[in-house]
Structure 1
Amino acid sequence: MPAPSRDSIRALLGMETLEDRLTPTTTTTPIYDPTRVLVTFANTGTDAANEAELAASPLASGVAPLGFGEYSVNLVSGTTVTAAAPVFATMPGVVAAGPDYEVSVSAVPNDPSYSLQWALNNPTSGISAPAAWNVTTGTGKTIVAVIDTGVDYTDPDLAPNMWRNPNAGTDGSGLGYDLYGADFADNTGDPMDDDGHGTNVAGILGAAGNNGIGVAGVDWNVQIMALKFMGSDGTGYTSNAVRAMDFAVSHGAKIINESWGGATGDPTLAAAIARAQAAGVIVVTAAGNGGTNNDTTGFYPADYIAQSNNVVTVAATDSNNNLASFSNYGANTVMLAAPGVNILSTLPGNTYGYMTGTSMATPFVSGALALLWDDHPTWSYEQVIAKLKASVDPLPSLAGKTITGGRLDVAKLLDAPVSPPPVVAPPVVPPPAPPVVSPPVVPPPAPPVVSPPVVPPAVPPVTSQSGPRVLNAVVGGPQTGVFDRAWIQFNEPINPATITSSTVGLIGPGGWVGASTAVPVAGTNNTQFTVIFARNQSAPGAYTLSVGPNVRDTSGNAMNQNGNGTNGEAGDVYTLAATLGVASVPPVVSPPVSPPPPVVVPPTVPPAPTQTYSSATPLAINPLRTTRIDFAVNSDFTVSDLTVRLNITFGRTWDLNIRIVAPNGQSVTLFNRRGGDGANLTNTLFTDSAGTAIGSGSAPFVGSFQPEQALSLFNGMDARGLWSVQVFSLVNDGLTGTVNSVTLGFGGTTSTASLPSVRTAAAAQLTTLTAPDLRGATADVKAAVFDGRGDEPAKVPVSAPPLPPEVPAGPPTPTPPTTFRQSLPTRAGTLADLIRDFAPLRV
């Protein structure tokens, strides 16, 4: 597959440079200078008498005025601060005496999108990265091998941290000039990423921090070794993964990140992990995205944790501290969890985007272990893993689900303080008394400050100075042919009071119609809203949704849609074009007057739908993008016998995945990479009552077909809400096309007929994956498992027999593919460019 051009993936986030935000703060365990105390007089001027009084104390070896009535008093040798502070506090005119506390830098990086990296900065559901960075941001001595789809080593957020082979081209790898790593999929020394998955993983663990651009990684100075074994389709062979692992071990990697896996174990992979263990290398693996228990349902290499103590298996949590709905788990096979939902990181071509999956959780742990090894370079891998297991944050959602029952906490891992010291209430200052001239008797241990201590001023919380931006929007209505609402997603929490009839509106043939109501979407922390307009719009034609610029975040900042750092400009208005067509209404047939109607024999074909919703607005299909067609159903009725009719022009249907998503987030895959190199879906009707499975059809798929999954999964639910048909182009090969029309039909009779065996066989090869739907629901995605050698699912048994070891002579022979990446991308875009879903993968 040809590599994508550098501009093939659109920039997803506007970036602006922010000032360096390194703010002084005190540490949790107070640290102070043991040789002096600070004394404050009520008289804030410079008073020679005060200075002389302090100098006359037998406890003082010297006095230095600090101004404003404050003095630093050096103590005579052998005198402790604990003993001296009470003495100086009793001197006439003294209002406070106490230690000279140490303050440190709170490492909040100046990367512009750091505020969007909830997994790093959220104090309750993140990994406590800022406190850990007070201890170390990495020394650059630990090498982490990212065995994946490659890494864009030219990305300015990754380039400073790329490993450089000191023996590139001469190390005997046979792969040419392997400066940044190697490509085992194509047997070259160039591990450039042509997919995006590996670059996203690399950014999570090691994007350069505090460099004023993009995002921050967990380890700001790690060495990233890029080892590619999966191609642009996100699949790879176990044999090439093994070669990559051996390269990593022989070239000095201390940690191997493996954000991929499969249902079948392989002895060659197990042997490679054992070789890494013998070399003291930690292998961090993704637990998997099936939502299953790895203790009972095998997933590899994650499950090799049972036989190799250098394996760390990682599940995923969300921003509410829940085990992610898609994440695998295992009380005996999954060590811990880390954030894995809506994770912002680097993408190829100097772009950024969100991905979701245990693939994203895994590099958080890899980056954290790199920081720990940087801080303790002499530790063994056993010591590093033991410290990891002992330092998690216990979560109720992980109890009984992982070995540790907890989520990664980097601050605990590095023994970093995570909160400011408590403020000690000042006691009543005793009345003035003569200074003590005899050597003091050391009192029992007591709080060091006995009068109002000198407390550094409170540091205000860091708030974003850059205004909010719209990430996504969809215009819809209660029925086909009507616009009356919009769903809008922002990049940060919004003040709902600023969404008004003057800041949000719909411009159409009838002019401006402003917002009348803004309802926050539950569970989105005011980042998503359903906006209802003042009146319905039904006139066919072009419409424009307009948002801003005076929609404001919770800090009062107006929008900064253009990303130039200046809020509230005319150029900060977000707009979205939409087209309203004529509603499709079944024809009205008048009953005949005479003669009486003849007796009609009931037809043998399925009954016609009782309600029909259609869209005939052409929408483009582009590589690695999603075209989404929404239908708003505004009446309450029970779904039964749902049908979907499609007309799509596209040059190779093998590139396409098509699904329908119900209002509750449940989805059914209609079409999943069928038809080989054939073109188009022409008047294709998906219905459970068809006699032919879609896998038995051929392009252009004229006629009726059973979908990949039964549409009867929707039977019994209330139809009211937003239905969505989503067409995914899964391959970056330059092909484009058009969704010409989509029709949904809701029938009145529930079908209970059993499906033909050919469809049942296909269903047995499905692997359940999940991805967050942009409306805030959770959508299950059932992606057929393919081996890449044809249109039909691979006939891979659940428990395949062990494969023979590879023969070392000649070029390596690929073993049957057993790997797929564990991520679910959710990149923000426009109406016809929303998310790239998880591709069908070889297992």
Structure 2
Amino acid sequence: MKSAFLSRSTAAAFCAVAVAATTMLGSSASAAPNNSPSTPVEFPAADGQLMSYVVNAKSSNGSKTQDVLKAITAAGGVAVQQWPEIGVVIAQSQSAGFRTNVLKQGKSSVESVGATRTATVAEGTPEGIATPWQQSPQRQAKKLANADLLYGDATFDGTALDPREAEKWDQVQIKADQAHQLTDGSRDVLVGVLDSGIDPTHPDLVANIDVANSVNCANAGRPDSSPGGWFPTTSSHGTHVAGIIGAARNGVGIVGVAPNVRMASVKVVNDDGYIYPEYAICGFMWAGMKGMDITNNSYFIDPVEFWCDDQPDQAAVRTAVERAVKWSTDKGVVHAAAAGNASYDLANKTTDSDSPNDGTTIERQIGNQCKDIPTELDGVVTVSSTDQAGKLSSFSNRGLNVIDVAAPGSRILSTLPNNKYGLLSGTSMASPQVAGVLALMKSEHPGWKPKQLVSELRKQAEDHLCMPSATPTGSACVGKLRDNSYYGEGIVDALAAVM
């Protein structure tokens, strides 16, 4: 099954959906959080099977990286990408005992090691890396239906020159239409769209794409800035997200929340729709290295929906991703992320029936020590979805003290590849609304750092009482007017962001 961008268990994915929510897996009741141990998920490896790993140094400042590299080689692996800034190395090996051996060889330098997927590395080893095994062939890209057709929503002829701002009810809800009377944002602000690629020829996007800072991270986690590498291949998801953030004001089609800011395409999705940890780590690190101001993350990291710190492989991956997020935040990047579409209470986790999604799924018990990443990581703005009536979207995840803010995500009109427009639904559509508001805020307050930007975003959000929702029975909203499980601090306010 595909990952967050395609079918997977569609209602459980972060991306666009146009189906009813599945049965709720967790209650919104104010019971004590579940901290019970999680059911183990096997990350198997056989001799001769090419697998990918994160190897974390005992020091995150890079001082142990060279020793980690030696341990990887001694254990029968190769380093695909090293991030000395955070003490993380992405490695590949065909040895079934790689994890055990790298810990033994690097007992003074290696803190943890974890497999990043349960499936063989389909893309093989990037060119230019000497391996002791035969290089795996590159997988043929699959051609899948555009997401707008996949989800049954309408598409439109994008050749018409008539503006379609009147159809953007979502911008009215967050007061972006009023904010635009004051500013469209600054060209000095750069938003990283960590997604499936952006169509570089779309008339509403071409003027705002920062080609020089765009990159493909889906090459086994090694950044590839070659021409065309960051273009969309099998998914229209990233192009739709980009239009919500920054479709240009040019008399064509629609206008984004921040139509004058620049956007970089940071491709973190492979041709089969998976967002593996090494791809996301690359994306976060690239954002920090290139001086981006905001990133949008409308996905969860595969192959498990919840990464549990009581299991070695999952804990090692969480450590590596957390280091990348923290490092880029320290560099000045604010991260907005989709809360997810499983109609799930993230504050009261109980079960997960969709993991691992690149192999045989199991029904497993989980607790609150398991995190949906990156959305539940410290410092990341977690965004739930609202519909046109201001209610929590039927598919949206929720969670008291988990959701930061809410934004429109139901049937949102935006750009699609090949000069088209379409309606998609999901917290994937809500998160870029928030990224756009953050971009407007950063435009008006260029000196503000991530902590202040997030604090003001939450403070300025419009308080919202819990409204009846189409979510399944038992999903009652809990909390106060100012902070509740549906809306967090409230619906994001673009006008307040630029005042």
Q: TM-score over 0.5 for the alignment?
A: yes
Report the CA distance between 1:413 and its aligned residue.
Answer: 2.1
- Letter in structure 1 aligned against 2:343: G
Q: Distance in 1 between matches of 2:147 and 2:295?
A: 29
- Letter in structure 2 aligned against 1:314: V
Residues 3 and 130 of structure 1, relative CA distance in 2, 3 Å threshold: same
Matching residue of 1:460: none
2:214 paired with 1:180 = yes
Residues 2 and 156 of structure 1, relative CA distance in 2, 3 Å threshold: same
Secondary structure of 2:157's counterpart equals coil
- Letter in structure 2 aligned against 1:271: R
Residues 251 and 373 of structure 1, relative CA distance in 2, 3 Å threshold: same
Map Cα deviations across residues 218-266 of structure 1 (whole Å, 9 max, x no partner): 0111111111121233222111110111111101111111101132252
Map Cα deviations across residues 321-373 of structure 1 (whole Å, 9 max, x no partner): 10111111112111010000001111111111111100100000001100110
Counting aligned pairs with the same residue, the percent is 32
Q: Is the 8 A contact 2:217 2:279 kept in 1?
A: no
Correspondence 1:194-233 to 2 at 5 A? 194=233, 195-209=235-249, 211-233=250-272
Secondary structure of 1:236's counterpart equals coil
Residues 328 and 385 of structure 1, relative CA distance in 2, 3 Å threshold: same
- Letter in structure 2 aligned against 1:140: R
Structure with higher RCO (Cα < 8 A, 6+ apart): 2
Correspondence 1:75-90 to 2 at 5 A? none
Q: Distance in 2 between matches of 1:250 and 1:355?
A: 32
2:386 paired with 1:339 = no
2:157 paired with 1:14 = yes
- Letter in structure 1 aligned against 2:456: K
Matching residue of 2:297: 258
Q: Distance in 2 between matches of 1:350 and 1:413?
A: 31
2:333 paired with 1:281 = yes
Secondary structure of 2:155's counterpart equals coil
Matching residue of 1:242: 281
Report the CA distance between 1:206 and its aligned residue.
Answer: 0.7
Map Cα deviations across residues 289-347 of structure 1 (whole Å, 9 max, x no partner): 11111112244225544xx3x31110000001101111111121110100000011111
- Letter in structure 1 aligned against 2:243: G
Secondary structure of 1:320's counterpart equals coil
Report the CA distance between 1:153 and its aligned residue.
Answer: 1.5
Q: Distance in 1 between matches of 2:337 and 2:265?
A: 16
Q: Is the 8 A contact 1:302 1:333 kept in 2?
A: no
Q: Distance in 2 between matches of 1:348 and 1:231?
A: 17
- Letter in structure 1 aligned against 2:165: Y
Map Cα deviations across residues 74-102 of structure 1 (whole Å, 9 max, x no partner): xxxxxxxxxxxxxxxxxxxxxxxxxxxxx
2:497 paired with 1:410 = no
Map Cα deviations across residues 687-711 of structure 1 (whole Å, 9 max, x no partner): xxxxxxxxxxxxxxxxxxxxxxxxx
Report the CA distance between 1:7 and its aligned residue.
Answer: 10
1:294 to 322, 336, 346: 346
Q: Is the 8 A contact 2:292 2:333 kept in 1?
A: yes
- Letter in structure 1 aligned against 2:157: G
Correspondence 1:494-513 to 2 at 5 A? none
Q: Distance in 1 between matches of 2:413 and 2:148?
A: 15
Report the CA distance between 1:213 and its aligned residue.
Answer: 1.0
| Structure 2: 5+ residue stretches without partners | 1-139, 309-317, 350-369, 467-476
Q: Distance in 2 between matches of 1:314 and 1:130?
A: 20
Q: Is the 8 A contact 1:15 1:112 kept in 2?
A: no
Map Cα deviations across residues 18-65 of structure 1 (whole Å, 9 max, x no partner): 6xxxxxxxxxxxxxxxxxxxxxxxxxxxxxxxxxxxxxxxxxxxxxxx
Secondary structure of 1:260's counterpart equals coil
**C-alpha RMSD of the superposition:** 2.4
Q: Is the 8 A contact 1:155 1:348 kept in 2?
A: yes
Matching residue of 1:667: none
Q: Work out the number of aligned pairs and report it.
A: 302
Q: Is the 8 A contact 2:158 2:419 kept in 1?
A: no
Query: Please, which moves more after superposition, 391-400 or 138-147?
Result: 391-400
Q: Is the 8 A contact 2:191 2:262 kept in 1?
A: yes
Map Cα deviations across residues 606-638 of structure 1 (whole Å, 9 max, x no partner): xxxxxxxxxxxxxxxxxxxxxxxxxxxxxxxxx
Secondary structure of 1:235's counterpart equals coil
2:467 paired with 1:375 = no
Q: Distance in 1 between matches of 2:197 and 2:489?
A: 32
Correspondence 1:394-793 to 2 at 5 A? 394-397=463-466, 399=481, 400-401=484-485, 404-415=488-499
- Letter in structure 2 aligned against 1:372: M
Report the CA distance between 1:403 and its aligned residue.
Answer: 7.2
Map Cα deviations across residues 145-164 of structure 1 (whole Å, 9 max, x no partner): 11111111221111100113
Residues 149 and 346 of structure 1, relative CA distance in 2, 3 Å threshold: same
Q: Is the 8 A contact 1:333 1:403 kept in 2?
A: no
Residues 240 and 143 of structure 1, relative CA distance in 2, 3 Å threshold: same
Correspondence 1:264-275 to 2 at 5 A? 264=307, 266-275=318-327
Report the CA distance between 1:183 and its aligned residue.
Answer: 4.1
Q: Distance in 1 between matches of 2:181 and 2:283?
A: 34
Residues 376 and 228 of structure 1, relative CA distance in 2, 3 Å threshold: same
Q: Is the 8 A contact 2:200 2:206 kept in 1?
A: yes
Matching residue of 1:140: 187
Q: Distance in 1 between matches of 2:273 and 2:158?
A: 28
Matching residue of 1:150: 197
Q: Distance in 1 between matches of 2:290 and 2:275?
A: 22
Q: Distance in 2 between matches of 1:302 and 1:330?
A: 15
2:203 paired with 1:163 = no
Matching residue of 2:171: 120
Q: Is the 8 A contact 1:150 1:183 kept in 2?
A: no
Report the CA distance between 1:205 and its aligned residue.
Answer: 0.5
Correspondence 1:805-816 to 2 at 5 A? none
Q: Distance in 2 between matches of 1:5 and 1:396?
A: 41
Q: Is the 8 A contact 2:403 2:486 kept in 1?
A: yes
Matching residue of 2:18: none
Residues 351 and 255 of structure 1, relative CA distance in 2, 3 Å threshold: same
Q: Is the 8 A contact 2:198 2:239 kept in 1?
A: yes
- Letter in structure 2 aligned against 1:114: E
Residues 197 and 208 of structure 1, relative CA distance in 2, 3 Å threshold: same
Q: Is the 8 A contact 1:303 1:333 kept in 2?
A: no
Name the larger-Rg structure.
1
Report the CA distance between 1:3 and its aligned residue.
Answer: 6.2
Matching residue of 1:736: none
Q: Distance in 1 between matches of 2:306 and 2:146?
A: 35
Residues 8 and 255 of structure 1, relative CA distance in 2, 3 Å threshold: closer
Query: Please, which moves more after superposition, 388-397 or 334-343?
Result: 388-397
- Letter in structure 2 aligned against 1:117: K
Q: Distance in 1 between matches of 2:493 and 2:197?
A: 28
Secondary structure of 1:406's counterpart equals coil
Map Cα deviations across residues 720-752 of structure 1 (whole Å, 9 max, x no partner): xxxxxxxxxxxxxxxxxxxxxxxxxxxxxxxxx
Map Cα deviations across residues 742-785 of structure 1 (whole Å, 9 max, x no partner): xxxxxxxxxxxxxxxxxxxxxxxxxxxxxxxxxxxxxxxxxxxx
